[in-house]
């Protein structure tokens, strides 16, 4: 009964979505306040129905109702409860349900928190969201119904893919989806603005906090995925340029360009066309990512379920949503004023460079991901673009981006003077050059470049904070008081930017050090043997069989000691065979540290108690994820800026703007 | 620039790029990603020399694959699809005119032997390739995979995924019939 209830809730949600996509939007054209007023309750209703559907599916997992096909293929009565819950989104059908649920949650959040938004804008935003929801709900109901029954009822489920039975991966998809789907808000605002023909500072100010929070989720989601791949795949790598990883990186890159572009649109009313195109692109790339993952067009380590009819459906959906919005853009955008004038040397220019660089990086990733398909289509043979190509392209472009990042906070809006800039920057440049000279004979050139870029970011941002506070200091504050006052006032987005950029510096440090100084050794060890890697002695005490709730494992025991013979850690890597079958899983054992990770993974048993063992020393690898956490914190702080709250005096201009809109008296 | 030409140059461009992308993806949908053509088809089999799974003291080599029409089947105990195709292989083992040679791939001897002991051995010989040394030369990228080899030792076909009745009837059986009709090579 419960699964049917869930199915019914989904059907009703589709009905509501159809109304949501049409009536409020029509209301904005025929000036019916009643129709427009429907937007809010419809958004809440949509969210409620999808919550019910999701709860029904979760319940089916919790009671192991194997009469539901989706439960039978993705769960097992032995599965620990946590993974029974995460199994809900462990495969195609459920992850789509999570996707629409989250989109409805974002819609409801907009309806709830945007009380100051003019009714006409809200109606359009909610309607655009409704249109996207219609597509996804049709897709779920017609090709991927998670509530489909199975007969005869199997006595036991097939079990969740063992790769996914892990805490990191249990929370990775929801985070990632929050980001993907969160961009639907920026998209909906952009489309609403295009429909109304109004792209102004107010539009940017409304969209910006929503885009920031989506970007924060996406940042954390990608970082979690990278962390998961690091410890769960047992290869010690943190990024594989896998099509599915790329699918999440592309919206992130464009999203990053978008949050910067919004700054210009909000403060200087410039870059409107750019901003709206980026907002459309960010969500389009999220949809494209879904297509790539779900259609099986590209093979990948992540390809769980692939089905060409589903692919065809998503492609049609993609063509309608993205094609439609780009057509709207091509039609409306040329008539939008290009906004304020700015000189060649200005903060606008530096942000334009940022936009172009991020767009270029996105195109590189898109090309690299689709290259096998492009080559195939033109009959150039089968190729796959690997690691080296992506790494090369990024290391060529990224330094330029980072140099501009350091200069940008010092630049003035609209017009700046070169000599003024030199006066502010010469000593910072001197410091970095000095570091370069100092390092050049000591370390590989890659390390020299990476570290000096990181230092450049850190000192320029430190100096720009100091400068900002000093300007206030003149009045009456001490530096500390000025800082606190600034944080209370409108300085949060500034400090958010600083923190996120410091995160970038940490990320660069991590990537530079781990890619040059990591040591990876594969050795054969007998019980009692030991092996030294980077000053750490790994003593293998042997492996014993053990049994988990739903797997057998060979559990190795390693004692790690350092140079002085002091005990560092006892590590217990495992090789697991899940009862449900499939490839044996490697559970790496890691002794984490800020400055280094010590990493052991069991390879293959070689007989007589011997094992092939992977021993890794990974210096500064944590900086990579720490950097991502800083970026996310920066995003959160920027979002908390006072001017995004309805109580802010700036919000008072909204009624005037709304009045000048398309509602005629 | 006039609005018109500006529209054409700048604003239609994203749409055009997107349309090209849709065309590409549409093409991608019509392709089967499982169909990775093997560069080995039409070529002579790679040489190999690997211990026998059942009797480690003896070696299985490419010589066993020559002179007969051979199904060279890559399998592993950890692979569910191999379990699914096993009964079909047992049935094929009875077929006259073809020989079935197995390659136990990236597996553990004990686990593999247990499968053979409990479900039967359809193979004439089974090479044991724990470290993917043979698999690498043969371009094996998953299990199960089956290579069809003619009497001259030329790889004529590679099937990715389990062999079931449909695959057998539609693809493999007709191919083997043609191979059988070919004259014995000197």
Same-domain check for residues B8 and B74: no
Q: Which chain A residues touch B78 with a CB distance below 8 Å?
A: 577, 581-584
With a cut of 60, say whether residue A536 has pLDDT above it: yes
Residues B10 and B90 in one domain: no
Residues B65, B101: Cα–Cα separation, whole Å: 8
Dihedral (CA of A357, A508, A175, A138) sign: positive
pLDDT digits (tens, 9 = 90+) for A515-527: 899 988 878 889 9
Top-confidence residue, A587 or B131: A587
Contacts of B28 in chain A (CB under 8 A): 295, 297-298, 373, 376-377
Determine the average pLDDT of the residues in A35-41. 92
Q: Look at B37 and A376 and tell me if their CB atoms are within 8 Å.
A: no
* Token pair in block for residue A111: 């309806």
Is residue B148 within 8 A of residue B155, CB to CB? The reply is yes
With beta carbons under 8 A apart, name residues in chain A contacting B36.
382
Q: What's chain B's average pLDDT?
A: 81
Residue A411, pLDDT > 80, answer yes
Q: What is the DSSP letter of A206?
A: H
To the nearest whole Å, the CA of B82 is away from the closest chain A CA by 11
Of all residues in chain A, the one with the smallest CA distance to B19 is A323
Q: Are B26 and B74 members of one domain?
A: no
Answer yes or no: is B44 within a domain. no
Q: How far is A509 from chain B (nearest CA, A)?
A: 36
**Could you tell me the residue range of the domain that residue B65 belongs to?**
49-181
Helix runs in A476-549, H state only:
479-488, 492-517
* A592 Rama class: left (phi>0) / alpha (psi -120 to 50) / beta: beta
Residue A31 tokens read as: 């000036």
| Contacts of residue A56, Cβ cutoff 8 Å, sequence gap at least 6 | A2, A3, A5, A6, A9, A147
Q: Are A609 and A542 in contact (CB under 8 A)?
A: yes
pLDDT confidence tier of residue A665, bands split at 50, 70 and 90? very low
For A255, A529, B133, the CA distances from A102, given in Å and listed in that order, are 18, 52, 47
- Do B109 and B159 lie in one domain? The reply is yes
Residue B73 and residue B8 share a domain: no
The verdict on B174 and B107 lying in the same domain is yes
Which of A299, A330, A581 is nearest residue B33 as measured by Cβ atoms?
A: A299
Instruction: Please indicate, yes or no, whether residues B80 and B4 belong to a single structural domain of this protein.
Output: no
CA distances from A282 to A5, A127, A254, A368, A644 (A): 35, 19, 5, 18, 22
pLDDT tens per residue, range B65-98: 888 899 999 998 877 678 778 888 988 888 878 8
Provide the pLDDT for residue B32: 55
Residues of B with CB under 8 A from a CB of A: 3, 6-7, 10-12, 14-15, 18-19, 21-22, 24-29, 31, 33-34, 36-37, 78-80, 108, 130-131
CA distance A252 to chain B (A): 19
Mean pLDDT of A100-129: 92
pLDDT tens-digit map of A161-190 = 777 788 887 888 889 989 999 999 999 999
Per-residue pLDDT, B37: 57
The answer on B66 and B9 residing in a single domain is: no
Establish if B186 belongs to a structural domain.
no
- The residue assigned the tokens 């032997």 is B113
Q: What is the pLDDT of residues A572-623, one digit of tens each?
A: 999 888 876 656 778 889 999 999 999 998 877 777 888 888 899 999 999 9
Write the CA distances from B16 to A40, A330, A439, B11, B22, integer angstroms: 36, 10, 48, 9, 10
Distance CA A601, CA A514 (A): 18
The pLDDT score that the predictor gives to residue A462 is 94
Residue A99 is encoded by which pair of tokens?
Answer: 């996707």
Q: Pairing state of beta strands A519-525 and B98-105? A: unpaired
Q: What share of chain A is helix, strand, coil (3-state, %, to 5)?
A: 65, 10, 25
Mean pLDDT for A311-316 is: 81
On the question of pLDDT at A656 being above 60, the answer is no
Do B101 and B134 belong to one domain? yes
Say if CB A365 and CB A281 are below 8 A apart. no
B82 falls within a domain:
yes
What does the block give as tokens for A594? 């800020």
DSSP code per residue over A412-441: PSS---HHHHHHHHHHHHHHHHHHHHHHHT
Mean pLDDT of all residues in A151-165: 79
CA distance A587 to A571: 11
Which chain B residue has its CA at the smallest distance from A299's CA? B33
What's the pLDDT tens digit per position in A59-108?
A: 999 999 999 999 988 888 888 899 999 999 888 889 899 999 999 999 99
- In a mutational test of the A interface, the residue from B2, B8, B9, B15 whose CB has the highest number of chain A CBs within 10 Å is B15
> What's the angle, vertex CA A215, arms to CA A213 and CA A217, rounded to 5?
70
Q: Which of B22, B34, B130 sits opposite A319 (nearest CB)?
A: B22
The answer, yes or no, to whether residue B6 has pLDDT greater than 90, is: no
Could you give the percent of chain A with pLDDT greater than 70?
Answer: 91
Beta bridge partners of A541: none
Number of domains forming the structure of chain B: 2
Q: φ and ψ at B19, to 5 degrees?
A: -65, -40
- For residue A603, give the H/E element and its range: strand A596-607
Q: Do B25 and A297 touch (CB under 8 A)?
A: yes
Residue B119 lies in a domain: yes
Mark A34-65 as b/e (b = at least 16 C-beta within 10 Å). ebbbbbbebbbbbbbbbbbbbbbbbebbeebb
Average pLDDT for A483-488: 82
**Does B153 lie in the same domain as B98?**
yes
Report the greatest alpha carbon distance in chain B: 83
Location of structure tokens 């209830």:
A5
Contacts of B129 in chain A (CB under 8 A): none
**Which structure tokens are listed for A3?**
């699964």
Whether B77 and B150 map to the same domain: the answer is yes
CB contact under 8 Å between B15 and A582, yes or no, is no
Q: Whole-angstrom Cα distance, residue B110 to residue A517?
A: 39
Residue B119: per-residue pLDDT? 78
The contacts of residue A470 (CB under 8 Å, 6+ apart) are: A479
For residue A152, cis peptide bond before it (omega within 30 degrees of 0): yes
Strands in A326-470 per DSSP E: none
> What is each CA distance from A303 to A242, A290, A415, B19, B79, in whole angstroms?
10, 12, 50, 25, 16
Residue whose C-alpha is closest to residue A571's, from A502, A507, A617, A627 = A617
Residue B35 pLDDT? 52
Average pLDDT, chain A: 86
Residue A608 burial by Cβ neighbours in a 10 Å radius (0-12, 13-18, 19+): exposed
Flag whether B40 is in a domain. Answer: no
CA distance A23 to A35: 6
Residues in Cβ contact with A106 at an 8 Å cutoff, skipping those fewer than 6 apart: A129, A181, A182, A184, A185, A210
Q: Which of A73, A257, A297, A577 to mutate: most B Cβ within 10 Å?
A: A297
What ipTM is given for this predicted complex?
0.73
As a whole number of angstroms, the distance between CA A87 and CA A164 comes to 8
B122 and B79 housed in the same domain: yes
Distance CA A574, CA A608 (A): 17
Is it true that the peptide bond before B85 is cis, omega within 30 degrees of 0?
no
The residue count of chain A comes to 665
Domain ranges in chain A are 417-517+627-665, 519-620
- A119-143 and A39-62 helices cross at what angle (nearest 10)? 30
∠ Cα B130 B75 A383 (to 5°):
85
């Amino acid at each position: 009964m419960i699964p049917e209830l869930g199915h019914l809730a989904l059907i009703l949600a589709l009905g509501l979505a159809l109304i949501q996509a049409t009536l409020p939007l029509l209301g904005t054209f025929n000036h019916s306040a009643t129709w427009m007023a429907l937007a809010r309750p419809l958004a809440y209703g949509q969210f409620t129905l999808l919550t019910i559907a999701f709860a029904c599916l979760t319940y089916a997992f919790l009671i192991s109702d194997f009469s539901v096909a989706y439960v039978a293929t993705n769960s097992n009565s032995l599965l620990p409860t946590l993974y029974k819950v995460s199994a809900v989104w462990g495969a195609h059908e459920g992850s789509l349900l999570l996707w629409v649920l989250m989109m409805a949650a974002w819609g409801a959040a907009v309806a709830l928190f945007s009380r100051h938004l003019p009714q006409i804008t809200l109606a359009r935003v909610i309607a655009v969201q409704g249109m996207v929801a219609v597509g996804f709900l049709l897709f779920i109901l017609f090709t991927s119904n998670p509530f489909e029954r199975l007969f005869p009822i199997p006595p036991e489920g097939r079990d969740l893919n063992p790769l996914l039975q892990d805490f990191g991966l249990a929370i990775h998809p929801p985070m990632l989806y929050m980001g993907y789907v969160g961009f639907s808000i920026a998209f909906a605002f952009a489309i609403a603005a295009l429909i109304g023909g109004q792209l102004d500072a107010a539009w940017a100010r409304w969209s910006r906090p929503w885009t920031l929070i989506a970007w924060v989720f996406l940042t954390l989601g990608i970082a979690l995925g990278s962390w998961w791949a690091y410890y769960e795949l047992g290869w010690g790598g943190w990024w594989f340029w896998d099509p599915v990883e790329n699918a999440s990186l592309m919206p992130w890159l464009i999203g990053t360009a978008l949050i910067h572009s919004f700054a210009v649109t909000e403060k200087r009313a410039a870059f409107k066309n750019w901003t709206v195109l980026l907002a459309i692109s960010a969500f389009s790339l999220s949809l494209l990512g879904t297509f790539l993952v779900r259609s099986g067009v590209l093979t990948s380590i992540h390809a769980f379920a692939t089905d060409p009819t589903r692919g065809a459906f998503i492609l049609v959906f993609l063509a309608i949503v993205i094609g439609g919005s780009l057509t709207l853009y091509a039609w409306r955008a040329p008539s939008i004023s290009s906004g304020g004038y700015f000189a060649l040397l200005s903060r606008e220019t530096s942000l334009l460079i940022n936009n172009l660089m991020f767009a270029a990086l996105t195109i590189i990733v898109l090309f690299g991901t689709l290259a096998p398909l492009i080559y195939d289509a033109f009959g150039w043979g089968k190729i796959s673009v690997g690691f080296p190509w992506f790494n090369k392209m990024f290391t060529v472009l990224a330094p330029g981006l980072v140099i501009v990042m350091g200069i940008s906070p010092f630049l003035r809006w609209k017009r700046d003077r070169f000599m003024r800039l030199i006066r502010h920057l010469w000593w910072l440049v001197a410091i970095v050059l000095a570091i370069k000279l100092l390092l050049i004979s000591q370390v590989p050139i890659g390390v020299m470049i990476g570290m000096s870029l990181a230092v450049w970011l850190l000192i320029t941002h430190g100096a720009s904070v100091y400068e900002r506070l000093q300007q206030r200091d003149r009045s009456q504050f001490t530096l500390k008081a000025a800082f606190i006052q600034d944080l209370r006032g409108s300085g949060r987005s500034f400090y958010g930017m600083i923190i996120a950029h410091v995160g970038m510096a940490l990320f660069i440090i991590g990537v530079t050090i781990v890619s040059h100084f990591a040591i990876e050794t594969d050795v054969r060890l007998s019980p009692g043997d030991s092996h030294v890697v980077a000053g750490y002695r790994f003593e293998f005490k042997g492996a014993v069989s053990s049994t988990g709730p739903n797997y057998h494992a060979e559990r190795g025991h390693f004692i790690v000691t350092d140079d002085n013979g002091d005990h560092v850690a006892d590590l217990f890597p495992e090789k697991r065979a899940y009862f449900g079958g499939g490839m044996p899983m490697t559970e790496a054992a890691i002794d984490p540290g800020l400055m280094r990770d010590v990493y052991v993974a069991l390879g293959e048993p070689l007989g007589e108690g011997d094992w092939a063992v992977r021993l890794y020393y990974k210096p500064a690898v944590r900086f990579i994820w720490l950097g991502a956490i800083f970026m996310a914190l920066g995003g959160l702080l920027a979002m908390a800026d006072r001017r995004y709250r309805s109580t802010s005096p700036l919000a008072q201009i909204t009624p005037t703007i709304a009045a000048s809109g398309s509602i005629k008296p | 620039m006039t609005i018109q030409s500006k529209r054409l140059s700048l604003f239609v461009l994203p749409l055009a790029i997107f349309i090209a992308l849709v065309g590409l993806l549409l093409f991608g949908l019509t392709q089967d990603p499982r169909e990775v053509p093997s560069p080995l088809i039409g070529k002579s089999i790679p040489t190999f020399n690997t211990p026998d799974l059942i009797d480690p003291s003896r070696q299985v080599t490419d010589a066993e694959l020559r002179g007969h029409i051979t199904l060279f089947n890559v399998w592993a105990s950890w692979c569910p699809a191999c379990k699914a195709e096993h009964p079909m292989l047992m049935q094929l083992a009875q077929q006259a005119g073809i020989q079935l040679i197995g390659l136990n791939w990236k597996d553990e001897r004990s686990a593999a032997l247990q499968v053979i002991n409990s479900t039967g051995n359809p193979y004439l010989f089974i090479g044991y390739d724990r470290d993917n040394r043979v698999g690498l030369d043969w371009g094996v990228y998953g299990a199960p995979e089956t290579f069809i080899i003619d009497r001259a030792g030329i790889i004529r076909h590679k099937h990715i995924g389990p062999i079931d009745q449909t695959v057998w009837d539609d693809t493999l059986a007709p191919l083997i019939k043609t191979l059988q009709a070919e004259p014995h090579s000197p």
